[in-house]
Amino acid sequence: AQSVTQLDSQVPVFEEAPVELRCNYSSSVSVYLFWYVQYPNQGLQLLLKYLSGSTLVKGINGFEAEFNKSQTSFHLRKPSVHISDTAEYFCAVSVYKLSFGAGTTVTVRA
Amino acid sequence: NAGVTQTPKFQVLKTGQSMTLQCAQDMNHNSMYWYRQDPGMGLRLIYYSASEGTTDKGEVPNGYNVSRLNKREFSLRLESAAPSQTSVYFCASLDATYGYTFGSGTRLTVV
């Protein structure tokens, strides 16, 4: 069985500050890893994914994530956030189907 | 535009009523999924269909049925709606290279 734990339910951050959203996963087999963003009252948009290869993955809107197999983590980072990054972020793991974490709400303040 | 289309976008039901949520994708994907999203719980898989003609239960299948009508369409049916089924429902399809594509969601309220 696979599972995902997002370690922070809410992350307040000031504009232009860096942000890190933490995600740990468990699985008995190799996995694919994803980060999705959901803006208020909208659907899910893929930020980035790790399928194989380089452990540092770059996504849209300046986000990146690092896959750490030994620590079973896939943390998401952005060096400088904007007000428009206010959203909910979901980490997800896929073996045969996609399982989501509970989500992290990021609120960016001026 | 290519993607996943869900209908309706909003629905209010009375307890005990039935309804079908429709999902269609035009990307020729084999696998399709139904999720529900509830506050603080992320998205939970209700049912999925790995290919046309097959369906399997996910984490929270009770109270739901699905039909994979053809490769494009995957519908979710609530036979007797309950307030606990108030949620936002997302349909998704899977491409092995590009990952999952989600529809815009159906916001369902059961009163």
Nearest CA in chain A to B56: A97
Per-residue pLDDT of chain A (110 residues; tens, 9 = 90+): 788 999 999 999 999 999 999 999 998 888 899 999 999 888 899 999 998 888 999 999 999 999 999 999 999 999 999 999 999 999 999 877 888 999 999 999 99
Q: What is the mean pLDDT of residues B19-40?
A: 94
Dump pLDDT digits (tens) for B70-106: 999 999 999 999 999 999 999 999 877 767 889 999 9
Which of A23, A96, A98, A100 would best serve as a mutation to test chain B binding (most B beta carbons within 10 A)?
A98
Residue B109 CA from chain centroid, whole number? 15
Residue of B33, B42, B58 lying closest to A90 (CB–CB): B42
Task: Say whether B40 and A103 touch across the interface (CB within 8 A).
Answer: yes
Q: Are A106 and A86 in contact (CB under 8 A)?
A: yes
B39 pLDDT more than 90: no
pLDDT value, residue A101: 94
Q: Which residues on B lie below 8 Å from A36 (Cβ)?
A: 102
Residues with Cβ within 8 Å of B83's Cβ and at least 6 positions away in sequence, in order, are B15, B110, B111
Q: Which residues are paired to B42 by β-bridges?
A: none
Write down how long chain A is.
110
Q: What is the mean pLDDT of chain B?
A: 93
Reading the block at residue B34, the tokens are 């139904």
